[in-house]
Amino acid sequence: MRKNLCFWLTVIVAASVIAGGFLFFGRKPVTETVTEALPLVSEGVPHALLTVQGNRIKTRLPETLAEEASPRARPYVHLMEGMILPLAGLSEEAALLATWAEQGNRADLYGVFRFSRENVSMLSSGKIPDEWKEVLPEASVERAGKKGRYRLVTAADAPAMYLETVDRLVLLSLYESGLERMREALKNPEMRAKVFWTLETDWPGHMYLHDGGSLAASAAMQGHDVGNDPVKIEMAWRQKTGEGLLAWTVSGLEGWIPDTIRNNLSGYGWSEKLFVPDPLIAATGFNLPRGFSTAREISAELPEAAEALGVRTELLEKVLEGPLIVTIGGQSRFLMMNLPGFLVEMPDRGAPGMELVERIWDRNWMRLSLTPKPLEGFKAGGSLSVPLTVVGAASEDLAVLGAMDESGLKKRVPLREAVDLPESALGWVYVDFPKAADAMENIARAGSLAQRVGLSGGDDLENIATAAEELRRLGKLMIVIEDYKNGRISWEQPPQAEE
């Protein structure tokens, strides 16, 4: 387990290259040349492979990443930020391979970068190129073994890497033996890593993760039978000015999803019966399959949720099955504070949906008998405005539950007008981060007012304002889960975030 944990910490750090830079990649496809120096990975060995065009990669990772990393992983975070990312950003194209060593209790990291002949010439003579000094001011090289082979050191808190040049390629490895394997890969195609992109092959960035069966082995140790298939993930992405798209495909999940659930998973058209509040901050939708309650975590919590609502478990399960969306937006009110609204919408629940709503209202909440105000368009339930704006209403074609002003329910737009959705999808997530920032700033202003009248200490107001500023830079995000194997992520950035 410690071997697998150590390796996957390295993989997570390698994946941080994506988290830190995938919004800034260029457009030209990566050639296969850089991958020809990556050594062969034996069957069943966990590994991660990344190929990408350089020259526009963001070279800073989140500040908290190193702070939150374990002591064993922290040097690799420093290695990524202090050497690998800057070099990838300077290069014309780059390839990285992280793999668990087939011999010895360690992880290996290989890097291949294409540079100009001038830069490579200086490196081959043991000198740091002037271009490198701008982003690696503390970098130094020292001879190591064979002629033309060096150790590249960038910081005391990061491991050094062995370096060698071949034509216009710079080869890096954590161990000198790794350079030998990379040399062999260049000479013998049979000793090269097998790189066969199947997803959006003309896009500039690609990543492949192979767990080598380690996740299944870990599950078996905990008493869960998920089979022996390794989990494999392939990703591809592209970026245009202000927007981007990432696609993924996963294999090996069949054993992780119970047959009763997997066989009933299907897409949904997300019909015009569904609506969202205005403004819309965030929304998510999922088509819950028949039998979803057989999942271990859900089967344990569903009866507790039913008891809290005062309904039968069977009724709650029946109503939840099928498409549902959860939205954050519009407006709700608690005492004197205006807050974003929250709403769950479930279409075509028929009589069970109306029964659920009626039973929820019939329950004595905190020994209070609540009588909702009827809502136009709904046969059962209604809304309540004091002390908290609450809504629970249903007709045969739609059931809604949540916290939303009646005015917010009237000021709504069809889902498909607000969110760009495919014709059919298993699930999706939409977030408008600038609008989330607006909502947080409104909460901060309300908190400041409450502080003045003695209702709140206001200790976290500054933190809220800081968080809002960070959110505003993130733009909009859309995740579409086409099925349990495939999906896409699209994003839009505000102009200031691209600088």
Pair 162, 174: CB distance under 8 Å = yes
| 488/234 Cα distance (integer angstroms) | 12
Please determine, for residue 7, whether its predicted confidence score (pLDDT) is greater than 50: no
| 5/157 Cα distance (integer angstroms) | 21
Q: Which residues of 170-186 are buried (b: 16+ CB within 10 A; e: fewer)?
A: bbbbbbeebbbbbbebb
Q: Which residues of 416-449 are buried (b: 16+ CB within 10 A; e: fewer)?
A: eebbebeeebbbbbbbbbbbbbbbbbbbbebbee
Q: Which of 98, 105, 116 lies closest to 39 in space, CA to CA?
A: 98
Structure-block tokens of residue 385: 């405005």
Please determine, for residue 486, whether its predicted confidence score (pLDDT) is greater than 80: yes
Q: Which residues pair with 109 in a beta bridge?
A: 98
* DSSP string over 42-61: -TT--EEEEEEE-SS-----
| 328/281 Cα distance (integer angstroms) | 6
Pair 282, 427: CB distance under 8 Å = no
Cβ neighbours around 314 below 10 Å, total: 12
pLDDT band at 366 (very low <50, low <70, confident <90, very high): very low
Query: pLDDT tens, 309-358?
Result: 889 999 999 999 999 999 999 888 776 677 888 999 999 999 999 999 99
Most confident of 115-119, 304-308, 339-343, 412-416: 115-119
Report pTM: 0.83
Structure-block tokens of residue 184: 């062999």
| 436/458 Cα distance (integer angstroms) | 20
Which residues have C-beta within 8 Å of that of residue 182, sequence separation ≥ 6? 37, 38, 39, 110, 112, 164, 171, 173
Pair 424, 414: CB distance under 8 Å = no
Q: Which of 399, 465, 414 lies closest to 283 in space, CA to CA?
A: 414
Pair 360, 370: CB distance under 8 Å = no
Q: Which residues pair with 152 in a beta bridge?
A: 141, 161
Q: What is the pLDDT of residue 242?
A: 80
| 462/444 Cα distance (integer angstroms) | 8
pLDDT band at 105 (very low <50, low <70, confident <90, very high): low
* DSSP string over 2-31: HHHHHHHHHHHHHHHHHHHHGGG--SSPPP
Cα-based distances in Å from 97 to 41, 87, 227, 346 = 10, 15, 27, 45
Structure-block tokens of residue 287: 């088509």
pLDDT band at 234 (very low <50, low <70, confident <90, very high): very high
Please determine, for residue 269, whether its predicted confidence score (pLDDT) is greater than 70: yes
Q: Which of 287, 285, 314, 284 lies closest to 299 in space, CA to CA?
A: 314
Find the range with the poorest average confidence among 33-47, 177-191, 260-274: 260-274
Please determine, for residue 32, whether its predicted confidence score (pLDDT) is greater than 60: no
Q: Which of 476, 480, 478 lies closest to 424 in space, CA to CA?
A: 480
Q: What is the pLDDT of residue 309?
A: 86
Q: Would you give the DSSP letter of residue 388?
A: B
Which residues have C-beta within 8 Å of that of residue 264, sequence separation ≥ 6? 289, 290, 291
Pair 83, 154: CB distance under 8 Å = yes
Residue with tokens 């009248």: 453
Find the range with the poorest average confidence among 124-138, 175-189, 352-366: 352-366
| 32/34 Cα distance (integer angstroms) | 6
Amino acid at 141: V
**Alpha-carbon torsion 147, 153, 159, 163, what sign?**
negative
Helices and strands in the chain: count of H runs, count of E runs: 16, 21
- Over its C-alpha atoms, the chain yields an Rg (Å, rounded) of 27
184's enclosing H/E stretch is: helix 176-187
Find the range with the poorest average confidence among 117-126, 230-239, 405-414, 431-440: 405-414
Query: pLDDT tens, 9-18?
Result: 445 554 544 4
pLDDT band at 30 (very low <50, low <70, confident <90, very high): very low
Mean pLDDT value across the chain: 82
* DSSP string over 257-322: S-HHHHTT---B---TT-EEESSEEEEEEEEEPTTGGGSHHHHHHHHHHHHHHTS-HHHHHHHHSE
Amino acid at 496: Q
pLDDT band at 477 (very low <50, low <70, confident <90, very high): very high
| Pairing of β 322-334 and β 390-395 | unpaired
| 283/128 Cα distance (integer angstroms) | 50
